[in-house]
Structure 1
Amino acid sequence: MKLPKLNVKNDSLSVITTFNGLNRNLRIGENEFADMQNMTNDYYPAFGNRKQRGIIKTLTNPMGVCGGEKLSYVDDNKLYYDESLVLQLDATDEERQLVMMGAYLCVFPDGIVYNTIDHTHATIENSKTSTGAITMRMCKLDGTEFTDQNTYIGTTAPSNTSQYPYWLDTSQSDSVILKMWSSTYSMWTSVATTYVKISSTGIGEGFKEYDSVKVSGIRTKGYNDYDFNDTLIVYAADTDYIIVAGLMDLYYQQAAEYPITVSRELPKMDFICEMNNRLFGCRYGLNNAGDFVNEIYACKLGDPTNWNSFPGLQGDSYIASCGSEGAFTGAVAYGGYVFFFKEDGFHKLYGNAPSNFQMIWRPCRGVAKGSSKSIAVVDEILFFKSRDAVVAYDGSEDTISVKLGLEPLFDAVACGYRNKYYISMRDQEYKYKLYVYDITKGTWTIEDDMRCKYMVYANNATYLFDWSNTIYAINNEYIYLYNFPSDNLFPADDLYPGYVNLAPYEGVREWSFTTGDLGMDNPYNKYVKRINLRMQQDVNSKVKIEVEYDSSGDWEYVTEHYADKKRNYEIPIAVRRADHIRLRISGWGEFRLFSLTRAVEGGSGEDES
């Protein structure tokens, strides 16, 4: 008897052993996830939950931070350096920008310069107004005054050169010259630079040599129509006087009722950064005088207190106007250049001195408004949040946020650690997420819903300041102190044996991740018949598995698994027939996913030819 031939439908297996993190687009890979919480790709190609963060401390009201060798921050108008209170700032609600320049910690807009070596501080802005009579005398650089006992004033030279070794030659009214008798050459020689000592009680307090100051209120002019009411260089200073360049009669006195003012000014700036021993800043808006400006500034070389010093030297300050449209959105020093960002591009400043500074404008994606804190350099690559993407720049721009989907994200705060770029952003519904981009693997993960106020790298650690004013450390170098060899040695965890725990951990973290639609790529009505998970659980951990069928929105409970010891487990998941399914795996405790295997069976629509 001849029996009919039956078609046997063999299961086909798809084994996934490499997991590539987050992908929020419509169609994603089998080894990617549509959503997640508290996950990391540290165990790549496996997938697992992130390490706990250390809780460093809780502040009152953080108002600005700075990284570097030591952590610096402002908390409730108090400046802290290396965890020590160093200065009480003026009470204000304004956010601070902190910038390190060598040993100087500079605080803006307060205009404070704190010396981290000798623990002294100075103010950038300084203004003194006379309260008593003002005297002005011709003098030498060391302050020695010229008097009518040693200086002759006239159109012809004095005959008695031993009594009058100095001659103020007024033979040409528009070109008065101070001359000195040279006994070596038996002739009068011109004095190249002449100085004037301006004296009044307290007028020189807070000023120093080579400060650039603005002087106003002097009611006389010097010879050759020299105006002392201008920006002048201070060549010497003490509490009751300053010495500036100038040429005038030997003596002038101004009554106390006509005060003079000597001031050192700080320009208003939106963003500040440091490069090559200078601070650079930018301003789009009203300046101190109330004029609208679109300018870029640099302080004097090595001196963050002087922003208007222009004697024509290599160390001069620098000011340049910009023709680009719109407000500045950030500034950073990168690759030997200074970048001043706007939303639609950036100004790039070349050179190492004002004499060779050059600036170009490049129209491209710039930093989004409200995302100036997203600028970070990680593994020699510059990252920032633009209006519609997260961008990596190393000479050309590259979008790295394609897998974050099309939904716009805002108010980014970011920092780097090792090969990762951490960035906190919100969506249009003001829901915040902390995303992590792994540079070497090109993958994204989501850690949690933390809304970060600041992120900074310091002390070989990365810190997150959240809006509850708590400081977290996201890497174990700060949480653990290496203490080997030591009599009180004890292990902290498997990855860091021999470390002593210095900071408490955050509490129990529930983690979860959700797959994309499984089965959408199956032709001929094939469907997912069974799923096997190969995973590792630590002691006292839990894993819960749920399934959603055909995008119903309903998550059906499948199973839970508790581990009483650390080991590997294989969990089979039987699913009913559906066009497509999604898995949601959640739990707490340590978890690693090593593989996900799908068994696919052919349906009635399969081609049997």
Structure 2
Amino acid sequence: MYTAYFKSGNVSRTVISSFGGINRRARIGDGEFADMQNMSADAYPLLAPRAARTVAQRQLTETKTEQTVETTVYKSLNGILGDVGFCAVWGTDFYYLGQKIEGLSLIDGEKRLVAFGANILIYPDQKYYNTVTGESGAMETAETVSGSETILTGNGFKYKASDSRISTDADGNVYISVNYIMGWRGFNLNSALCKSAKESFYMPQLYVDGENATKDSFKNYLRIRIQNGMIEYISSATTVCIGLGSDRYTLEDIVWKALPIEAVTAPELTGETGYLWNGDTPIKITDGMLYLAEPGDLSSVFSSIGNTSSSALVCTYNWTKSNLPRLDHVCVLDNRLWGCRYGMQAGSTAAVNEIYCSKLGDFKKFTTGTTADAAWSASVGAYGKWTGCIALGGRVLFFKEDKMLRVSGTKPANFQIAEIADVGLQSGCEKSMQIIDGVLYYKSRDGIYTYDGSMPTRISDKLGDAQRAETAVAGSIYGKYYVALDGVLYVYDTYTGLWHKEDRQNIRYFTRYGGSLYAAVDQDIVCLVGEADTIFAAAEPEGTFVWSCESGDLGLESPYQKYYKRVLICASGGFGADMTVSMIPDGSEPISADFTFDGFGTVVFPVVTPRCDHMRVKISGHGAVRIYSLSYETETVSDTPERR
């Protein structure tokens, strides 16, 4: 007779006294973690959560009174910079060291802030503020030219002047409105509104238009309108007879159809002055009036509308030409402002793919020359839009998604451009670039790379799929690279080579100021590392937060079944800190125990798991806890019965 039995187990003890960071690869070490939240490498090789943060400033609000009614207006946080004193853009206002700078009005939208000596340059508005003298204003000078433009021409149409105007609607949208009653023969569109619609002929579907008119007067006529930057015509409508004794008609169930052209929608701004961009189309708002661009001009405003004949509609305009190039990305090196542009350029009717630098010491002058201090520009053959630029090691690096280009030299006579790598900067991730100890860190399409002047090297394999995020915003301080990948904050310690995951935050900007690292989180300014400066009078310390870390699958090195038991953790915690330890056998329900702290010591978790193939350990808690070592016992048993 044969009796099946299991051999007695072999018991071994595993001790982990050095803890790594997050590692999402298929096989990881005992001291690494498959997932974590709010952990840090500050105490390495110990395991510890991050330090508490401080909300330096909540979203700025403003109270406005209209007809004795008070309303609270929330301002958008559009940019922060701490290079030459802490500055922030709230809505259309610029703040320096916590004080609003009067007379410097901006367009409400995301900004690129660059320090040039004592000046803070504000893009895309192309304005500046001098932190020493307090001077501020526009970087560019402008030339105004007047003229006129024929908008529509046609045959046999009637024009209703009372319905054509430049005005502002109830929501503050500046728009051009033109209503036309036009003949059935169609019409030509010759519009400065839409650069791709020159000399285009349209023959809309016929219908009977009898809006408050007799049938004989308006038979077979169609209506056209231009408003909110769109040019439309009625493609269908129902004609209804109203009244008795005479044929009077009106239109119901009107369907407006937009013409297939590049139209521009007016931004919601009134009484403001500044510049916006809609793709490659520049738009200017001055005192509530909408400027729409023609190629070769910064902007053109239609200041009046009238019909000069029975078959044409004419608008007069003013053009404002800029003396500065439009720049997609900017940086500063050797007392020059550097930038790049891909697409339509101000003052040009052709697309450009160029690199620029300003005159030595003057960010307002870009007129090229042959002297050593002159401005300089050059065309580039590499295809694709620019994704960013940064100064590194006395040279300027310009990026496309699959190219890295380097400009070297000291003056226009010896400036040289070289393509040095095929690992570019991912589009939309220009804010991921940071320089730490002379090494550039940036987000490429397939991960985070470093570049020290030789060849780019990927360092983010341990992040798994997270390294292929679509968005990346980064900051750095004390040898650490903080990067928000699709809203999740990861930290790379350049000294230990470890990655740690903190939490999910909608971080839009980073900056350093006064030995601390700040971030724009949603619409608040948060001090992530260090203490908030005294300019933030209403700073709020962070409360208690949850931290956790979960190991990878333990026991995969052995194919036998196992029992896990008797977990020992040597740890210390501050007053009020707590910790929960969970054993998770084969992905089933966890077996947990809670612990509190009263100083330093070792806690014992006398657990015995069911027989399993592998196990995970998860540790979570609140407060300042440090874990010095962790150990557990493994009893290995055989799944194969023996015969006797």
TM over 0.5: yes
Higher strand share: 2
The answer to whether residue 115 in structure 2 is matched with residue 61 in structure 1 is no
Higher Cα radius of gyration: 1
C-alpha displacement of 1:299? 0.7
Task: Indicate the larger mover: 20-29 or 109-118.
Answer: 109-118
Alignment of 1:56-135 (within 5 A): 56-59=56-59, 60-128=75-143
The answer to whether residue 372 in structure 2 is matched with residue 336 in structure 1 is no
- Evaluate the alpha carbon distance shift between residue 394 and residue 584 of structure 1 in structure 2; reply closer, same or farther with a 3 A threshold: same
The answer to whether residue 333 in structure 2 is matched with residue 284 in structure 1 is no
Which of the residues 451, 467, 475 maps onto 1:393?
451
The answer to whether residue 564 in structure 2 is matched with residue 528 in structure 1 is yes
Q: Any conservation in 1 of the 2:559–2:613 contact (CA below 8 Å)?
A: no
C-alpha displacement of 1:121? 1.9
Inter-partner Cα distance in structure 1 for 2:320 and 2:93 = 29
Which of the residues 419, 438, 441 maps onto 1:361?
419
Residue 583 (structure 2) aligns with: 547
SS in 2 for 1:11: strand
Residue 20 (structure 2) aligns with: 20
The answer to whether residue 444 in structure 2 is matched with residue 410 in structure 1 is no
Inter-partner Cα distance in structure 2 for 1:293 and 1:511 = 50
Which of the residues 514, 530, 539 maps onto 1:476?
530
Identity in percent: 34
C-alpha displacement of 1:527? 4.5
Inter-partner Cα distance in structure 2 for 1:606 and 1:436 = 46
TM, length-normalised to structure 2: 0.66
C-alpha displacement of 1:442? 0.4
C-alpha displacement of 1:567? 2.8
The answer to whether residue 488 in structure 2 is matched with residue 433 in structure 1 is yes
Structure 1 stretches lacking a partner, 5+ long: 1-5, 132-259, 427-431, 482-500
Q: Which amino acid aligns with 1:305?
A: K
- Evaluate the alpha carbon distance shift between residue 470 and residue 94 of structure 1 in structure 2; reply closer, same or farther with a 3 A threshold: closer
C-alpha displacement of 1:378? 1.4
Note the alpha carbon deviations across 1:234-292, whole angstroms, 9 max, x for none. Answer: xxxxxxxxxxxxxxxxxxxxxxxxxx999761111110000000000001111113421
C-alpha displacement of 1:67? 3.0
Inter-partner Cα distance in structure 2 for 1:316 and 1:445 = 47
The answer to whether residue 500 in structure 2 is matched with residue 445 in structure 1 is yes
Query: How many aligned positions are there?
Result: 447
Note the alpha carbon deviations across 1:474-528, whole angstroms, 9 max, x for none. Answer: 22244699xxxxxxxxxxxxxxxxxxx9943112211111111111112544543
SS in 2 for 1:410: coil
Q: Which amino acid aligns with 2:371?
A: L
C-alpha displacement of 1:456? 1.0
Residue 166 (structure 1) aligns with: none
The answer to whether residue 428 in structure 2 is matched with residue 370 in structure 1 is yes
SS in 2 for 1:406: helix
C-alpha displacement of 1:423? 0.3
Residue 38 (structure 2) aligns with: 38
- Evaluate the alpha carbon distance shift between residue 585 and residue 57 of structure 1 in structure 2; reply closer, same or farther with a 3 A threshold: same
Note the alpha carbon deviations across 1:282-333, whole angstroms, 9 max, x for none. Answer: 01111113421111111111001111242x2111111110100111111100
- Evaluate the alpha carbon distance shift between residue 113 and residue 480 of structure 1 in structure 2; reply closer, same or farther with a 3 A threshold: closer
C-alpha displacement of 1:550? 1.1
C-alpha displacement of 1:370? 1.3
Residue 457 (structure 1) aligns with: 512
The answer to whether residue 593 in structure 2 is matched with residue 559 in structure 1 is yes
- Evaluate the alpha carbon distance shift between residue 480 and residue 87 of structure 1 in structure 2; reply closer, same or farther with a 3 A threshold: closer
Inter-partner Cα distance in structure 1 for 2:517 and 2:372 = 37
Q: Any conservation in 2 of the 1:537–1:569 contact (CA below 8 Å)?
A: no
Residue 605 (structure 2) aligns with: 572
Q: Any conservation in 2 of the 1:390–1:399 contact (CA below 8 Å)?
A: yes
Q: Any conservation in 2 of the 1:368–1:387 contact (CA below 8 Å)?
A: yes
The answer to whether residue 356 in structure 2 is matched with residue 297 in structure 1 is yes
- Evaluate the alpha carbon distance shift between residue 367 and residue 23 of structure 1 in structure 2; reply closer, same or farther with a 3 A threshold: same
Q: Any conservation in 2 of the 1:282–1:328 contact (CA below 8 Å)?
A: yes
Which of the residues 367, 387, 390 maps onto 1:308?
367
SS in 2 for 1:306: coil
Q: Any conservation in 2 of the 1:125–1:263 contact (CA below 8 Å)?
A: no
C-alpha displacement of 1:587? 1.6
Task: Indicate the larger mover: 121-130 or 509-518.
Answer: 121-130
Q: Any conservation in 2 of the 1:78–1:88 contact (CA below 8 Å)?
A: no
Alignment of 1:265-284 (within 5 A): 265-284=323-342
Q: Any conservation in 2 of the 1:55–1:472 contact (CA below 8 Å)?
A: yes
Q: Any conservation in 2 of the 1:537–1:568 contact (CA below 8 Å)?
A: no
Note the alpha carbon deviations across 1:370-396, whole angstroms, 9 max, x for none. Answer: 111000111221100111110111122
Note the alpha carbon deviations across 1:17-64, whole angstroms, 9 max, x for none. Answer: 000110111211110011111111111110111110111102331112
C-alpha displacement of 1:405? 0.9
C-alpha displacement of 1:113? 2.3
SS in 2 for 1:338: strand
Q: Which amino acid aligns with 1:444?
A: W
- Evaluate the alpha carbon distance shift between residue 130 and residue 532 of structure 1 in structure 2; reply closer, same or farther with a 3 A threshold: closer
Q: Which amino acid aligns with 1:510?
A: V
Inter-partner Cα distance in structure 1 for 2:599 and 2:41 = 20
Q: What's the Cα RMSD here?
A: 2.7
Residue 555 (structure 2) aligns with: 519
Q: Which amino acid aligns with 2:526?
A: Y
C-alpha displacement of 1:10? 4.5
C-alpha displacement of 1:406? 3.2
Which of the residues 573, 586, 592 maps onto 2:626?
592
Q: Any conservation in 2 of the 1:379–1:418 contact (CA below 8 Å)?
A: no
Inter-partner Cα distance in structure 2 for 1:130 and 1:409 = 47
Residue 50 (structure 1) aligns with: 50
Moved over 4 A (4+): 6-10, 87-91, 128-131, 260-264, 605-608
Inter-partner Cα distance in structure 2 for 1:262 and 1:10 = 85
TM, length-normalised to structure 1: 0.69
Inter-partner Cα distance in structure 1 for 2:51 and 2:493 = 15
Q: Any conservation in 1 of the 2:84–2:131 contact (CA below 8 Å)?
A: no
C-alpha displacement of 1:93? 3.7
C-alpha displacement of 1:547? 2.7
